[in-house]
Amino acid sequence: MSSRPALPAGLRLDARKTTPLLHPLLTAPAPRIAVLALDQGSGETAEPLVAAGTRVGIGTPIARAVGEAATDLHSPVAGIVVEIATRSTVAGVGRCILIENDATDARDPALVPVDWHALDGATLLDCLRGAGIAGLGGAAFPAAGKLALARASAVGHLVLNGAECEPWICCDDALMRERAADVVVGGQVMLAASGATRCTIAIEDDKPEAIAAITAAIAAAQDDRVELVELPALYPLGAERQLIEAVTGREVPHDALPPAIGVVCQNVGTAAAVARFVGTGEPVVSRIVTVTGSGVACPGNLEVRIGTPIADLVAACGGYQGDPARLIVGGAMTGRSLSSDLVPTTKGVNCIVAATLADVAVRDPEMPCIRCGDCAMACPARLLPQQLHRAALADDRDALARLGLADCIECGCCDYVCPSQIPLTARFHAARLRMQLHDAERRRAAEARERFERHERRLAEQAAAERLAFEAARRRARGAGPP
């Protein structure tokens, strides 16, 4: 066990994690109809393998990933596919597979454990690809894809992210307390799959029970490649690039991914899912979700089947209490606010908060920036939010690019400290979208110019060739005269 020096930028936030952790993990009841979004949050989708009427068991593959960022989908319940229809999901509106639960909870007989010790790295990766394991830290990027890139880049260091720095979210804490062995085994499997030789599990120091559990699990595993590192409880130390800097002391270049410096990062929940898959053959059909907030009667951490409507989860925690004003998916700083609780969960949903007005901050009206500089001190990416704000207001794209808008991780730290109550994160998000649209426009215009120039050249060459052919024909027609 070792600790690293703190990063200079970051905030100590009120964690709000005690209540859900007062009692152990519960299992949420399975939904009556499971709604599986084909786009689980990564932006890319999957192709259905089933149609209405197909009978499925728990773990039966129901969709194949299309695109690098999507994962395979498996049925979380046993029953019959009702339909494939467009529904509202956490990720927006999209096509979903609806499966009616027949309450038998029958597992697909094709699921078998994987003897991962006997497999070589590449084969193990193929196995993992079929397990639908997405990054359970929230981004839902395929774990197998990340590990494959790590293997191709000869990465040596695997970092398991148990930091969980954002207020309200404590699903990883609950996981580590109760299933520490799974996390360690998952780490070992990932080492084998990626070819890395060292695994560091990073946990923030405000989680002593989790630290103790993981330490014991590492000791039991008797694997000296796996170690635990304690980090200070700063937000957003759990963001991937900040975490890697805290653990290894090196920064990931802004235009590259972590394998460029020999590191690959995975969430501890992802590691536990990997362990469950190799141990029982069960792909990702459920995950731990924190249900909390003053608007919930009995906050807790639940093992939830993917595709369960959020309203069911709240009901499993005693239902609403008081006057919940906001429903937030995620944590206090980056969580997205939903208008309805009927949406189903996805692989990326790690926390649901039914917040009353007392839980959230109601901002005063926005004032002009007084250049106090607190935002720059809080920014974990070392940007200058007050300059970015000026440039965003002026829509000055050159300045935005120069000041590093693309490096903003939208963590919300600048918003948090601003005395003028400026909604900086929302401004930067909007500015990024505008910049992306503008860049796409410019690229298209440049391509159009190139094609036009090629078109003109082609016409000129055609005209020249026709002219030559005409001259040659005329010469032939006049007899074999001098050329």
Partner 1 sequence: MSGATLLPAVGVAAGLAATIGAALGWAASRLRSDAGSLVEQIDALLPQTQCGQCRYPGCRPYAEAIATGTADIDRCPPGGEATVRALAALLGREPKAVDPQFGPIKPRQVAVIDEERCIGCALCLPACPVDAIIGAPRFMHTVIEAQCTGCELCLPPCPVDCIELRPAAELPG
Partner 2 sequence: MQFQVAAPPHVIAGFTVPRVMFQVLLALVPFAVVHVWLFGAALLLQLGVAAVTALGCEALALRLRGRPMPQFLRDGSVLVTAALLAVSVPPLLPWWLMAFGTAVAVLLGKHAYGGLGQNPFNPAMVGYAVLLVSFPVEMTRWPVPGPEWDAVTRATALDALRTGLAQSYTMQEILADPAFGRVGAADGEWLNLAALLGGTYLLLRRVIRWQIPLAMLAGLALPAAVMHATDPGAHAGALFHLASGATMLGAFFIATDPVSAATSTRGRLYFGAGIGVLTWIIRSWGGYPDGLAFAVLLMNLAVPLLDRHTAPRIHGHRGR
415 lines the binding site for partner 2 (CB under 8 A)? yes
Upstream peptide bond of 113 is cis (omega within 30 degrees of 0): no
Of 24-32, 149-157, 197-205, 352-360, which segment contacts partner 2 by CB under 8 A? 352-360
Angle made by CA atoms 58, 63, 69, in degrees to the nearest 5? 120
- Which residue, 323 or 407, has its beta carbon nearer to partner 1? 407
Identify the three-state secondary structure at position 235: strand
- Which residue, 281 or 423, has its beta carbon nearer to partner 2? 423
333 lines the binding site for partner 2 (CB under 8 A)? yes
| Number of amino acids touching partner 2 (CB under 8 A) | 69
Beta bridge partners of 145: none
3-state secondary structure 298-339: CCEEEEEECCCEHHHHHHHCCCECCCEEEEEECCCCCCEEEC
Q: Which of 64, 262, 423, 432 binds partner 2 (CB under 8 A)?
A: 423
CB-side neighbour CA atoms (13 Å) of 349: 35
Amino acid at 221: A
Q: Which residues contact 364 (CB under 8 A, 6 or more apart)?
A: 421
265 phi and psi, to 5 degrees?
-120, 135
Name which of 69, 66, 73 is nearest 42 in CA terms. 69
Q: Provide the pairing of β-strand 300-305 with 26-27.
A: parallel
Around Cβ 318, how many Cβ atoms within 10 Å? 13
- Least CB distance to partner 2 at residue 258 (A): 11
299, interface contact from partner 2, partner 1, none, CB < 5-8 Å by kind: none
- The token pair at 462 is 């055609």
Alpha-carbon distance values, 320 to 19, 32, 42, 341 (Å): 15, 20, 30, 11
400 lines the binding site for partner 2 (CB under 8 A)? no
Q: Provide the pairing of β-strand 226-231 with 2-3.
A: parallel
For residues 430 and 428, what is the distance between their CA atoms, to the nearest angstrom?
5
2 lines the binding site for partner 2 (CB under 8 A)? no
323 lines the binding site for partner 2 (CB under 8 A)? no
Alpha-carbon distance values, 309 to 34, 255, 352 (Å): 8, 38, 11
- Which residue, 454 or 475, has its beta carbon nearer to partner 1? 454
24 lines the binding site for partner 2 (CB under 8 A)? no
382 lines the binding site for partner 2 (CB under 8 A)? yes
- Which residue, 285 or 369, has its beta carbon nearer to partner 2? 369
Beta bridge partners of 267: 161
Of 26-34, 40-48, 56-64, 319-327, which segment contacts partner 2 by CB under 8 A? 319-327
Identify the three-state secondary structure at position 33: strand
- Which residue, 181 or 399, has its beta carbon nearer to partner 1? 399
Residues of the shown chain interacting with partner 1 in the complex, contacts defined by CB under 8 A = 433, 436-437, 440-441, 444-449, 451-452, 454-455, 458
178, interface contact from partner 1, partner 2, none, CB < 5-8 Å by kind: none
273, interface contact from partner 2, partner 1, none, CB < 5-8 Å by kind: none
- Least CB distance to partner 2 at residue 15 (A): 11
Q: Which of 51, 152, 370, 463 binds partner 2 (CB under 8 A)?
A: 370
Virtual torsion, Cα 32, 37, 42, 43, nearest 10 deg: -160
For residues 251 and 241, what is the distance between their CA atoms, to the nearest angstrom?
7
Q: Which residues contact 348 (CB under 8 A, 6 or more apart)?
A: 40, 41, 42, 90, 91, 134, 135, 136, 138, 139, 140
298 Rama sector, left if φ>0, alpha if ψ -120 to 50, beta otherwise: beta
Of 57-65, 297-305, 371-379, 432-440, which segment contacts partner 2 by CB under 8 A? 371-379
33 lines the binding site for partner 2 (CB under 8 A)? no
- Which residue, 25 or 325, has its beta carbon nearer to partner 2? 325
CB-side neighbour CA atoms (13 Å) of 425: 15
- Least CB distance to partner 1 at residue 380 (A): 24
Handedness of CA 397, 398, 400, 406 (dihedral sign): positive
DSSP 117: G
445, interface contact from partner 1, partner 2, none, CB < 5-8 Å by kind: partner 1
Q: Which of 20, 335, 344, 348 binds partner 2 (CB under 8 A)?
A: 335
Q: Which of 15, 217, 264, 355 binds partner 2 (CB under 8 A)?
A: 355
222 lines the binding site for partner 2 (CB under 8 A)? no
Of 101-109, 215-223, 279-287, 336-344, which segment contacts partner 2 by CB under 8 A? 336-344
Around Cβ 327, how many Cβ atoms within 10 Å? 23
- Which residue, 147 or 405, has its beta carbon nearer to partner 1? 405
Of 22-30, 83-91, 116-124, 361-369, which segment contacts partner 2 by CB under 8 A? 361-369
193, interface contact from partner 2, partner 1, none, CB < 5-8 Å by kind: none
- Least CB distance to partner 2 at residue 376 (A): 6
436, interface contact from partner 2, partner 1, none, CB < 5-8 Å by kind: partner 1
Residues in the site for partner 2, rule: CB under 8 A? 13-14, 167, 241-242, 245, 250-255, 261, 311, 320, 324-328, 330, 332-341, 355, 359-361, 363-365, 367-374, 376-377, 380-384, 386-387, 403-404, 407, 412, 415-421, 423, 425-426
